[in-house]
Chain A
Amino acid sequence: MAEKKKGRRAYLEDYRKNERGQYEYAGRRYVCQGVDLGRRRARIGALCAGLAAAMAAGEDNTDFTYWDEETQTAFWADLKQAGAAFAQEIVDYCIAAGINAEGDSVAACAANWGFELEEDATVDDFFNTMVEQYEGDYVTLSGTETAGSSLFDLMEDYDAYTKGVETEETAPNVSGIERVDDYTLRITTTELDATAIYQMGLPIVPLHHYGDESLYDYENNKFGFEKGDLSIVKAKTSDPLGCGPYIFKEYKDGVVYMDANPNYYKGEPKIAHLNYLESAEGDKVNGIVAGTLDISDPSYSVDVAKQIAAENGYSEDEWDKFEGPVLTTKLIDYLGYGYIGINPNNIKVGDDPYSEESKDLRKAIATMIAAYRDEAIDSYYGSTASVINYPISNTSWAAPQTTDDGYQIAYSVDVDGNPIYTADMTAEEKYAAALEASLGFFEAAGYTVEDGKLTEAPEGAKLEYECVIGAGGSGDHPSFLLLKNVAEALEPVGFTLTVTDYANANDLYSSYQNGIAEMWCAAWQATADPDMYQLYHSEGSTNYYQIKSDELDELIMAGRASTDQAYRKSIYQAAMEIIMDYGVEIPIYQRSDALVVSSERMDVDSLPGDMTPYWGWEAEKENLELLQ
């Protein structure tokens, strides 16, 4: 059978029927204390509680405490006609897609959809059969069987049933959410989760925008709207808020026009009008020089730095002078880091990707890559980027520091655990030492090494591997030179490293996310919290390294269960040691983002003093000033 179309109503997907036939929210949770559970219980859904409650009550419900009979009758009639349309859409799809021939019966189409029906069955029968098979779970049915439209999209008066209803005792407020003062909110969680606070990136909306001030009386549990009626809020979900320092005016001709908000709680911004102009990368620096732009964020590299220096009247050698008469550059660490990944299922010895031999093979390659990082990163970024030694952004509080116990250069010990490098080595001596250490790892992995050359690979391993990189097809990537140098260094010893440069980034993504790539170059964008679950846990959704380690999983879960930074940092350092031992990720660089402003038109001192990835120039837009 052909693959079915799946259009879904995302928020409805998050509701699941439980054993008691009630609908429960099963989506992502923000862990907070729901209600005063000791005395009261309430189930008031934010969006579709009415719909869920009506479905849970069933068509034969005779309890009209919360809605009247007329509404119930209308609801089920609407749902049934939607069901018939839903089934008809499947039939139409089967015919249109060529799965069934024109004129085939509903039963014939249903058969290809996985449902057995009588030959003279109608679309109503088809839908009823689906309902029976899903045991009345309309939400799952809709999400799974759809041929395009959600069942609920096909209802004619869906909105009429989405109003919140009280099905049991009501709660006057959510006790875990407290107003402390005009600008402070306290949320109490029911359990400890170090990442919870970062999941609460909630936009702040002033009362005058979202509600009715006459309906606000916090002490008496009135919050600016009639309880159970969120229509006033919903009506504004697609409106620009206008509660920040600037109010959106319009978007036209590639420009977003913003006007200063006179009611901004930190005070009216000093610049009356702020425009965001769509700009190509190549126009960002030139645009400031020409007076088209005042602030810009070009992709920073040594070439851009030299262009900025030239505009300021400096020589190329003075590219690291960040303040000049025309342009001023502010560097901010990028919230993320670049790395080279190795898929253990594709680079291994024998059948076991996690055996010591497999790890040694990967460490042999990683040792060479680690050795050549300094030259490549310096060439591409100069001193505005640094080589990192752990798979974590330097902007994180959990990033190991050189002064920490046990801190060491990535892949800087040989197969016996002895340091490869000494402090007085020249670059050439370091490369030679790295190659020697790499051969040691190859030998430990089972490779045959004769006269300093690899002559034979063990079973399951090869003498040549490929690394894919998204360098635009032109080698424009900080790791491109690095890989080329490593390939050249390994070629004389009989090991071929092929570097494939994809012009289309999607090819790169799919190659390593599908598990096809042997090695790949990419960058992670970090989150504020150093939680490693998504990347390295066995169940992590983007664990492209395919690490399956119980020990690592336990450490990651332990890190989540504490808010003690020192403890968590030690946990994550231990976790990173395991990751490095698997030889699946070589940390490469921590680069900087650049903010370039016009020294001629902007008051540079009005920018935030110490910008970070979490607090950029826009965080204090209200303070920006132009020179007169």
Chain B
Amino acid sequence: MRNYIIKRIIFSIFILFFVTLTIYTLIRCLPASYVETMAMQLASKPGAKPYEEWVAQLNASYGLDQPILIGYFHWLSDFAHGNFGDSWRFTVPVIQKFREVIGVSFVMGAISLILELVIAIPLGVVAATKQYSKADYAISASALVGISLPTFFFATILKLIFSVKLGWFDTHGMVGRNFAQLDAMGKFLDQANHLVLPIATLTIVSVGSLMRYTRTNMLEVLNADYIRTARAKGLSEGKVIYHHAFRNTLIPLVTIVGGSLPGLFSGALITETLFSIPGIGFTSYQAMTAGDIPFTMFYLSFIAVLTLAGNLISDILYAVVDPRVRLS
């Protein structure tokens, strides 16, 4: 196991290198350029230098006059030393901005994941145990709807119904108009109120796939020989399903859930942007559209690290929960 983990980590470092190189190359080639936008603003001022001169000067100042490969290695060197630079868009150190915004993304992601598990697993089990019943069809259809709905569409529908038409929630933002005047409990409730629709969006659009996964695995297990044996022993149906079948269904589920844990820190770019929630997703969107290379590189590299870590955790968990699997 130890050797396996070390080998995987080494592979991950190689993958990370090429991933970050690809990301850096793509960002440098993006049409959205912070320098060009800045140059445009500066050149528009009365008596200012021409746009081209500003572009040349700013490119030099921001180190964009170097070839992509050299620029990448400069970034990599800084990154390896823990120097993530200053965000161009937010004019503060990247790590400071990250600390400011990661909290709300984590909270949203964690609550959404818990809700997802609480809803998807029981419904998946019910759908499997009552295969081809009305309940199964209803659950499967709901799951399909959830999977098929694009996040931006579903979020917009929620906003239209619950904010614009019913007026139950604010359309956007993380706090209400009187937030600053509220006491601690009031502030907590106010923020919770503003997270209802974003969390509902995140949960509903992602619960379907987990529900279907649970149902499929449960059906597979229910058709296994040892389940038939358990029933032949005269065990109650409840004991068969929840003691024997469900525990075996958990094996692949744990790997799925384990793999999604790092995703708690990656934020939800579309949902946060639509609800103007200042989390890591919304912040990275603002950084990307502004051509903020330091922040974008940090965020995407962070995501890459999380993804690699997630895959590793999944594989390890698989070995932990399934004694038949031994990694070497």
Which A residues are within 8 Å of any B CB, using their own CB? 2-8, 28, 96-98, 199, 249, 253-255, 257, 273, 275, 277-280, 283, 286-287, 289-292, 503-504, 506-507, 509-510, 513-514, 525, 527, 534, 541-542
Contacts and interface: CB of A to CB of B under 8 A. Distances in A.
Given A255-B179, A283-B171, A504 B31 contact: yes
Given A290-B171, A292-B172, A506-B32, A278 B276 contact: yes
Contact of A279 (B31, B47, B172, B177): B172
B167 A291 contact: yes
A292 B43 contact: no
A478 to B, nearest CB: 21
16 contacts: A2-B65, A3-B56, A96-B70, A249-B180, A253-B179, A254-B276, A254-B278, A278-B173, A280-B273, A283-B171, A283-B172, A291-B170, A292-B163, A503-B31, A527-B46, A542-B44
A39 to B, nearest CB: 33
A273 B181 contact: yes
Contacts of A525: 44
A506 B40 contact: yes
With most chain B CB atoms within 10 A of its CB, the pick from A199, A292, A525 is: A292
A254 B174 contact: yes
Contacts of A7: 60-61
A6 B163 contact: no
Interface in B159-181: 159-160, 163-164, 167, 169-175, 177-181
B77 to A, nearest CB: 10
Contacts of A277: 172-173, 276
A541 B49 contact: yes
B33 interface: yes
Nearest to B100: A252
Nearest to A98: B70
Interface string B196-208: 0000000000000
Contact of A514 (B33, B49, B52, B273): B52
Across chains A and B, which 4 residue pairs bring their CB atoms closest together, nearest first?
A: A504-B31, A292-B170, A290-B163, A513-B51
Contact of B172 (A280, A527, A542): A280
Nearest to B50: A541
A115 B163 CA distance: 68
Given A6-B61, A290-B163, A525-B44, A253 B31 contact: no
B135 interface: no
B13 interface: no
Nearest to B73: A96
B36 interface: yes
Contacts of B172: 277, 279-280, 283, 287, 292
Contacts of A510: 36, 51, 55
Interface string B52-88: 1001110011010110001000100000000000000
A525 to B, nearest CB: 7
B47 A28 contact: yes
Interface string B258-283: 00000000000000011010100000
Interface string B4-34: 0000000000000000000000000001110
A283 B51 CA distance: 33
B170 A506 contact: no
Contact of A506 (B37, B57, B180, B278): B37
B141 interface: no
Given A5-B60, A6-B57, A97-B66, A509 B167 contact: no
A509 B40 CA distance: 7
Contacts of B74: 96
A257 B276 contact: no
Contacts of B274: 280
A2 B32 CA distance: 25
B175 A255 contact: yes
A534 B276 contact: no
B56 to A, nearest CB: 7
Contacts of A8: 57
B194 to A, nearest CB: 9
B325 interface: no
Contacts of A273: 178, 180-181
A626 B47 CA distance: 43
A525 B63 CA distance: 31
Contacts of B170: 287, 290-292
Contacts of B70: 96-98
B167 A534 contact: no
A504 B163 CA distance: 32
Contact of B31 (A255, A280, A291, A506): A506
Given A5-B65, A283-B172, A534-B47, A507 B177 contact: no
A563 B135 CA distance: 83
A541 B180 contact: no
A199 B45 CA distance: 12
B192 interface: no
Contacts of B52: 513-514
With most chain A CB atoms within 10 A of its CB, the pick from B33, B51, B173 is: B173
Contacts of A513: 40, 43, 50-52
B149 interface: no
A542 B45 CA distance: 9
Interface in B175-231: 175, 177-181
B48 interface: yes
Nearest to B273: A280
Contacts of B167: 290-291
Interface in B117-163: 159-160, 163
A325 to B, nearest CB: 15
Nearest to B61: A7
Contact of B164 (A96, A286, A509, A527): A286
A287 B177 CA distance: 12
A534 B55 CA distance: 19
Given A6-B57, A283-B276, A506-B32, A255 B44 contact: no
Contacts of A280: 172, 273-274, 276
B25 to A, nearest CB: 18
A279 B276 contact: yes
B160 to A, nearest CB: 8
A253 B175 contact: yes
Contacts of A96: 70, 74
With most chain B CB atoms within 10 A of its CB, the pick from A279, A289, A513, A527 is: A513
A290 B164 contact: yes
Nearest to A28: B47
Nearest to A291: B167
Contacts of B46: 199, 527, 534
B33 to A, nearest CB: 6
A253 B173 contact: yes
A3 B65 contact: yes
Interface in B77-110: none
Nearest to A525: B44
Nearest to A292: B170
